[in-house]
Amino acid sequence: MRIQLTIDDQRKDEVDLLKQVTDSKDYAALLDASLTAFQWMVWEVAQGRSIVSVKEGEPKERVLVMKQLQMAEQRLPGIVGKFAAASATADR
């Protein structure tokens, strides 16, 4: 699949920096890694979990809040239950 995106200059700089610091070989590799992380976050919130950042020695944790994750939390619980049941059946 070929995807063409238009992003503003600030986001382009952010994408380029992420590509550099993650040593991603190209934008496709960066997008693939990003989608893997986002998919994991979506499935976690759909199961009632929060995405949290914790730093040792700091008493306060930071919770990620995104509109897309809030929507997944509302829409996916039934789907996740069906997926889990199908996976459990497939493992037997």
The domains of the chain are located at 9-90
64: left (phi over 0), alpha (psi -120 to 50) or beta: beta
Work out the widest C-alpha separation in the chain, in whole angstroms: 51
Could you tell me the pTM of the whole model?
0.74
Query: Each residue of 64-86: pLDDT tens digit?
Result: 999 999 988 888 766 666 655 55
Query: Each residue of 18-77: pLDDT tens digit?
Result: 999 999 999 999 999 999 999 999 888 888 899 999 999 999 999 999 999 998 888 876
In percent, the amount of the chain with pLDDT more than 90 equals: 61
Q: How far apart are the first and last CA of the chain?
A: 35
Q: Helices H, strands E: what count in the chain?
A: 4, 2
